[in-house]
Structure 1
Amino acid sequence: MTTPNHLSVRQALQAMEAGELTSVALARACLERIAERNAEVLAFTAVDPAWTLEQARRSDAEPHGPLRGIPFAVKDVIETQHLVTAYGSPIYSGHQPKTDAACVARVKEFGGLVLGKVATSEFATQTPSQTRNPLNLAHTPGGSSSGSAAAVADFMAPVAFGTQTTASTVRPASYCGIVGYKPTFGFINVAGLKPLSPAQDTITILTRSVADAAWCGFGLQGDRVSAEPVAAPRLAVCYSSQWDAVRPEMAQAIEDLAAAAERAGAKVTRVRLPDALESIIDLQGRLFAFEARQSLAHERQHHADQFSDRLKARLSGGENIDSDEYLSMRQTALIARQNMGALFDGIDALLYPPAQGEADEGIADSGSAQFGALWSLMHVPCVSVPMTKGPKGLPMGVQVIGPYGNDLRTLQVAAFVEGLRQR
């Protein structure tokens, strides 16, 4: 058998159901990989091996639910009762929450277990963690779900919780060559997530396959969902002003993917982002600044000396936004969401860059978040799927974007796109 930590979620579940694998063996393999690699990758911030193995033993004794025996890594802005949650900030060093976040409690409710906490940028904003890209330690893994993406890509965990308020899942997934699933806003309950921009904060799933992302995302609802690839999806490459920042190799890779999709039976068209949506791309950042300034009001008033300069600057962008502008922004975003259905007329999903290209060298910056901003604001499901490699040999993904609430169909289309790499 493949080393347990290299199994996909679905493979591990099938092996456990067949009596060929135990949760203890899977958890132990993940812990051994963490012990072997974390000093270099710096993905995990808190691990308690004895506690994790005790959870696994209980799972083996009483297996149940769609997530039976599967170890989840948890981004460190999501609260865990047993493990320290520092939100990526020295302000909360050693902080021990009283309860688990709702998504963590649901993992346990449906048979899964907690493997450990993984690194995040400061309060899931722009100041990066120390995590390295496991595919090349000299490069960024992306942010803010840096530890989540690195842990899954390096076979430390089969699945990890991330979050996305702008592009904090689709970009690191692309940089690390894995799948990042940002559900429809609110599909995964955010209770116990440190708020940043409540109008956009979304808990996400990072895995090594689209099937695993679907199984885990819907498994948190108690459902058993298999995202079989759509036979002949209707796709559209969506162009916008943001493509001016896309590197030539990323643009060409998406065109090549579109051609491969047509050869595989998909109907592929080209669309231009409507002016009504183009005009609100920048609104996302201002909405974020206003809400983040409120969400971090206590920290800003009492611990601002422990903020990074980058966070101070970003929060200052919300100072000159009054309540009238804020409510106007919320109204504008709502109207855009209500009218967005027209963009998907005759289309199952859009193809869009998740990042400018492959991961940049260095970890001082985690890359541009602009390519997720609009879609996070619009609350639609997005799946970053590995596509090809860039000139430096690092992965590049494509963002598959579906209509609001059509998560399963979007994942099925993403599974089709994923399969193009194997043709």
Structure 2
Amino acid sequence: MTMLSLLSMRARIEAGSLTPAEAVALTRDAIAEHEPSIRAFVATDPDPHVPDTGPLSGIAVGIKDIIDTAHLPTQMGSSIYRDWQPRADAPIVARLKRLGAVPLAKTTTTAFAFIDPTETRNPRAPGRTPGGSSAGSAAAVAAGMLPLALGTQTGGSVIRPAAYCGVVGVKPSFRLLPTVGVKCFSWTLDTLGLFAASAADAAHALALIAGRPEIDQPATVPRIGLLIPDYCEAAEPEALEALDRARAIAEAAGAGIRAFTLPDEFRHAFDEHATIQDFESAQALAWEYETHRDSLPPLLRAHLDTSRTIEAAAYDAARRVAHHARRSLRDILRNSDLDVLLTVSAPGRAPEGYASTGDSRFNRLWTMMGVPCVTVPVPGEGPPLGVQVIARFGDDARALVAAKFLEKAFTDRP
């Protein structure tokens, strides 16, 4: 399976060797070939409108199925919303259309973006989970069925499946992209993100979608803080080996790298992610729980049973911890001589089997901090492994510049 490059497709369109309609037809052919075994989609547009103009004309996009689309059902991964048809596009979908992109398909999501697995399979690691909850978007890009797909992250649902499927995933700074029209799980944490074949593709797409051209900059040599997390259970040896391999390649390419550690307060902040997420999810899904509890999948149902017992005082205390940790991280990074942090994207390779979507423990803290994160696949044998680039809040450009540097260093390695 060869992944589709957004930039390559756009270059061919601009050169006149490929029309936008032909570009979309290529993706539809790839879907016809691979979708029966990957199962990344819940709906596709049988007769898509393909604009002839726009900076993303000819680019077919996958839309995670918790994001409203006026032309396709939005079913939340749940029988409760089977065949539900919104009247309007979410702003993020409307923005894609204005840019000339084609929202071609709805990608699978775990029910309400929690952790009950989907039917999607991992194109790059057969027999292993593609992750969650944006499994369909990650798998669709990994299988070469789409050049771009949208996902969301409340814990680790962009970075983790991207790492498991061997693609680039971007979780932008909190609120860079609008979550209006996206089914809420936690309004403090939910963040829209992107999946693409390369960091260059992702940077170009994010700059256009966000309307911030400064995000897409050429790769430069970064100053990197190497973070081996100690605020939670340790990563598996293979993940740490991939991180060390990335470090060695980056150093050989000229990057300055030094060890970086977080103060103990971040261990406490990490622990409070669950309090915030769980308290808010009980309210966000109150109607579904109270009127359709028996239709909820087992893991989500049990989660909401427990989440409804969290008291407001505990939630308020957790929010204060998160607020102080965000300010502390801002100051730490501002006063350092570092451009980005480099750490693991996931505990290890995608777990075998389909009973679990994996573990988001190396993503949750950064989601709560609201900072931009990019995962880049690390070269090596076996199922995919990735490393995670983290920058200061609002400095999405720096995160993507460093990701481009790593990507090129990995490609150019001896």
Tell me which residue corresponds to 1:35: 32
2:181 to 170, 174, 192: 192
| 1:208 maps to 2:205 | no
Superposition pairs for residues 16-35 of structure 1, below 5 Å? 16-35=13-32
Task: Name the CA distance, whole Å, in 1 between partners of 2:331 and 2:257.
Answer: 17
Given the alignment, which residue of 348, 351, 356 partners 1:365? 356
Q: Aligned-pair distance for 1:215?
A: 1.0
Equivalent in 1, 4, 8 of residue 5 of structure 2: 8
In structure 2, C-alpha distance between the alignment counterparts of 1:123 and 1:399, rounded to whole Å: 25
2: CA distance between counterparts of 1:136 and 1:354? 16
1:349 to 326, 337, 340: 340
Aligned residue for 2:269, secondary structure, equals coil
The answer for the alignment partner of 1:229 in structure 2 is: 219
Q: CA deviation at 1:239?
A: 2.4
SS in 2 for 1:86: coil
Cα offset for 1:221? Answer: 2.8
1:157 is the counterpart of 2:146? yes
Q: Give the root-mean-square deviation of aligned CA atoms.
A: 1.5
Q: 5+ residue gaps in structure 1?
A: none
Q: Tell me the CA shift for residue 69 of structure 1.
A: 2.4
Per the alignment, residue 409 of structure 1 pairs with 398
Equivalent positions of 1:128-139 (< 5 A) are 128-139=117-128
Tell me the matched-pair count.
Answer: 409
Give distance in 1, aligned partners of 2:59 and 2:157: 24
Q: Does 1:395 align with 2:392?
A: no
Question: Normalised by the size of structure 2, how large is the TM-score?
Answer: 0.96
More displaced stretch, 234-243 vs 160-169: 234-243
Equivalences for 1:94-133 in 2 at 5 Å?
A: 94-133=83-122
CA contact (8 A) 1:143 1:172 kept: yes
CA-CA distance at 1:21 after TM superposition: 0.8
% identity of equivalent residues: 39
- The answer as to whether partners of 2:232 and 2:361 remain within 8 angstroms in 1 is no
SS state of the match for residue 341, structure 2?
A: strand
- TM-superposed CA distance for 1:227, in Å, is 3.2
- The question of whether the paired residues in 2 share the 8 Å contact of 1:210 and 1:227 is answered with no
Q: Separation in 1 of the partners of 2:251 and 2:331?
A: 23
Q: Please say if residues 91 and 178 of structure 2, whose CA atoms lie closer than 8 Å, have aligned partners that are also in contact.
A: yes
Equivalences for residues 256-271 of structure 1 within 5 A: 256-271=245-260
After TM superposition, what 4+ stretches of structure 1 lie above 3 angstroms from structure 2? 222-227, 242-245
Q: How does 1:281-292 map to 2 (within 5 A)?
A: 281-292=270-281
Tell me, in whole angstroms, the C-alpha distance in 2 between the residues paired with 1:242 and 1:69. Answer: 44
Shift of 1:6: 4.7
Structure 2 unaligned blocks of 5 or more: none
1:240–1:278 CA contact under 8 A, matched in 2: no
CA distance in 1, matches of 2:103, 2:115: 26
Match of 2:234 among 227, 242, 245: 245
SS at match of 2:363: helix
Q: Which residue of 1 aligns with 2:370?
A: 379
- 1:254 aligned residue (232, 238, 243): 243
Deviation at 1:11, TM superposition (A): 1.2
Distance 1:277 1:335 in 2: 10
TM-score between both structures, scaled by the size of structure 1: 0.94
Contact 1:142–1:366, Cα closer than 8 Å, also in 2: yes
Distance in 1, matches of 2:380 and 2:78, equals 33
CA distance in 2, matches of 1:327, 1:358: 36
Task: Please tell me whether the aligned partners of residues 211 and 227 of structure 1 are also in contact (alpha carbons under 8 angstroms).
Answer: no
How far the C-alpha of 1:7 sits from its partner, in A, is: 4.0
Q: Is the 8 A contact 1:239 1:273 kept in 2?
A: no
Which of these residues, 282, 291, 304, is aligned with residue 293 of structure 2? Answer: 304
**In the alignment, which of 69, 94, 97 is matched to residue 80 of structure 1?**
69
